[in-house]
Amino acid sequence: MKTQNSEFLKKSLLNLGFGEKVNAELDKEMEAKTPEFRLGLSHEFNQKTVDYTLHFKAGDNQDMYFFNKFDAHIRHEDAAKEVSQTFFINKGNGVTAKEAFNLMEGRSVHKQLTNLENQKYQAWLTLDDQNLTESGNKKIKHYHENYGYDIEKVIAGKGIKELEDPKAKEDLYRSLKKGNAQQITVATGEGEKKYFIAANPQFKTVDLYDHQMKKIKREELLGTSAKATKSLKSHAQSSEELPKKKQSRKSKMSV
């Protein structure tokens, strides 16, 4: 039983993105029958260091251990800008180490969850900066399937080059659902341009960023797209005869 318990915990840690760094310490604490213990490790994402504290606790008979939760802390040179959050684990399932980082950075994550009736459902998760628990943890907003946010429909038809290739498209969807700010390529009148996008389920859209991860106003992208549309129309008119019907200048690239 102890071996099975240990292997289950190690597999959970691996699936949640914590790797195998704490496996030896985990076995040591379990062998010592420590009633409750914590293990620490760190990861780096986007040149930012995240410290994790993993919480383990023995059952009533101390014959089985459970991985109940983990604390995540993003370091910053300015202590006032550091961010901390506790994430709970249910039967080895929960947000991953990277997803926790993305949530703490203000982005959203798409997960399959289980309700109290043991029924599975899909939802986007976002940390609520305005509402805290008694312990100071940010509450988690849930945008369920019936909320009507479909990331694939939101970015379809926006001239994103990655959507033209089946594998690149699947990778883009998967990355956005994990809460990443993913780079995209958009054709403009001045050539191809790179942007980053991230899911925004609350407003049923995506957030736009430049290469320095600074937010771009929607009007800026629309302006770029409008120039690209105008350039393409001018090229078409010079190469073949077109009906004299007035062409619409409305861009089809709004995001």
The whole-number pLDDT of residue 1 equals 66
Task: Name the pLDDT band for 218 (thresholds 50, 70, 90).
Answer: low
- What mean pLDDT is reported for the chain? 86
The whole-number pLDDT of residue 237 equals 43
Task: Name the pLDDT band for 220 (thresholds 50, 70, 90).
Answer: low
Longest CA–CA separation in the chain, Å: 85
Res 46 pLDDT > 80: yes
| DSSP summary character for residue 20 | T
Q: CA-based Rg of the chain, rounded to a whole angstrom?
A: 23
The whole-number pLDDT of residue 252 equals 39
Work out the average pLDDT over 230-246.
Answer: 43
Task: Name the pLDDT band for 20 (thresholds 50, 70, 90).
Answer: very high
CA dist list (Å): 251 to 29, 79, 114, 119, 155: 61, 44, 41, 43, 14
Domain locations in the chain as residue ranges: 2-105, 151-239
Q: Give the long-range contacts of residues 125-131, CB within 8 A, separation 24 or more.
A: 125/95, 126/201, 126/202, 127/85, 127/103
Phi-psi region of 62 (alpha: psi -120 to 50; beta: other; left: phi over 0): left
Res 31 pLDDT > 50: yes
Res 243 pLDDT > 90: no
* Residues facing residue 192 across a β-bridge: 187
Res 228 pLDDT > 80: no
Order across the sheet with 205-209: list the strands: 182-188, 191-200, 205-209
pLDDT tens string 165-195: 999 999 999 999 999 999 999 987 788 899 9
Residue appearing with tokens 């780096």: 44
